[in-house]
Amino acid sequence: MTTSRILAAPTGAKSAPGWLRLRLSGKFAVAFVGLVTLVLLINGAVDLSLNFEEAKRTAIEVQREKARAAAERVEAFLSEIESQIGWTTRAEWRRVSPEQQRYDFIRLLRQAPAITEVAYLDPSGKEQLRVSRLEPDVVASGKDFAASPRFTQALKDKTWFGPVYFRRGSEPYMTVSVAHAGREPGVTVAEVNLKLIWDVVSAIRIGANGYAFVTTETGRLIAHPDLSLVLRDTDLSALPEVAAALPGKAQDKDYGITTGLDGGLVLAAHAVIPRVNWIVFVQLSLREAMESLIESVIQTISLMGLGVLLATVAGTFLARRMVVPIRQLQDGAERFGAGDLSERIEIRTGDEIETLARRFNLMASRVQESYETLEAKVEERTRDLNRSLDDLQKAQSRLVQSEKLASLGQLTAGIAHEIKNPLNFVNNFASLSHELVVELQEALKPASLPPDTRQEVDELADLLKSNLDKVVQHGKRADSIVKNMLLHSRTGSGEHRPVEINALVEESLNLAYHGARAAKPGFNVTLVRDFDPAAGMADIYPQEVTRVLLNLMSNGFYATEERAGSAEPSYAPTLSVATLDRGDSVEIRVRDNGTGIPDSAKAKMFDPFFTTKPAGEGTGLGLSLSHDILVKQHGGTIEVATELNRFTEFTITLPRRDARAAEPAHASPTESKSPP
Q: What is the DSSP letter of 659?
A: P
Instruction: Give the H/E segment covering residue 265.
Output: strand 265-273
Q: What is the DSSP letter of 632?
A: I
Smallest CA-to-CA distance from 133 within 149, 150, 112 is with 112
Exposure on the CB side of residue 412, measured as CA atoms within 13 A: 22
Exposure on the CB side of residue 225, measured as CA atoms within 13 A: 13
For residue 402, count CB atoms less than 10 angstroms from its CB and return exposed for 0-12, middle for 13-18, buried for 19 or more: middle
Report how far residue 408's alpha carbon sits from residue 352's, in angstroms, rounded to the nearest whole number: 69
pTM over 0.75: no
Report how far residue 241's alpha carbon sits from residue 281's, in angstroms, rounded to the nearest whole number: 9
Q: What is the pLDDT of residue 588?
A: 95
Report how far residue 292's alpha carbon sits from residue 296's, in angstroms, rounded to the nearest whole number: 6
Regions of the chain short of the pLDDT cut 70: 1-29, 169-170, 248-255, 289-293, 319-321, 375, 394-395, 397-414, 416-418, 420, 425, 476-494, 567, 609-610, 612-621, 658-676
In angstroms, what CA-CA distances link 497 with 543, 629, 630? 10, 15, 15
Per-residue pLDDT tens for 563-583? 888 767 788 899 999 999 999
Beta partners for residue 178, in sequence order: 159, 188
Contact 200, 75 (CB under 8 A): no
Per-residue pLDDT tens for 436-476? 878 777 777 787 778 888 788 778 888 887 887 777 777 76
Contact 188, 120 (CB under 8 A): yes
Q: What is the pLDDT of residue 314?
A: 74
Q: What is the pLDDT of residue 533?
A: 93
Report how far residue 99's alpha carbon sits from residue 53's, in angstroms, rounded to the nearest whole number: 65
For residue 52, count CB atoms less than 10 angstroms from its CB and return exposed for 0-12, middle for 13-18, buried for 19 or more: middle
Report how far residue 346's alpha carbon sits from residue 361's, in angstroms, rounded to the nearest whole number: 9
Contact 516, 554 (CB under 8 A): yes
**H helix runs in 445-522, sequence order:** 451-488, 501-519
Instruction: Give the H/E segment covering residue 42.
Output: helix 24-86
Report how far residue 281's alpha carbon sits from residue 223's, in angstroms, rounded to the nearest whole number: 10
Q: What is the pLDDT of residue 536?
A: 92
Reduced DSSP (H G I as helix, E B as strand, rest coil) percent helix, strand, coil of the chain, to 5: 55, 20, 30
Q: What is the pLDDT of residue 25?
A: 61
Report how far residue 430's alpha carbon sits from residue 452's, in angstroms, rounded to the nearest whole number: 28
Instruction: Give the H/E segment covering residue 46.
Output: helix 24-86
CA 53 to chain centre: 35
Smallest CA-to-CA distance from 281 within 322, 229, 232 is with 229
Q: What is the pLDDT of residue 579?
A: 96
Q: What is the pLDDT of residue 3?
A: 41
Collapsed DSSP state (helix, strand, coil) of residue 243? helix
Beta partners for residue 133, in sequence order: none
Report how far residue 424's alpha carbon sits from residue 14's, in angstroms, rounded to the nearest whole number: 79
Q: What is the pLDDT of residue 21?
A: 59
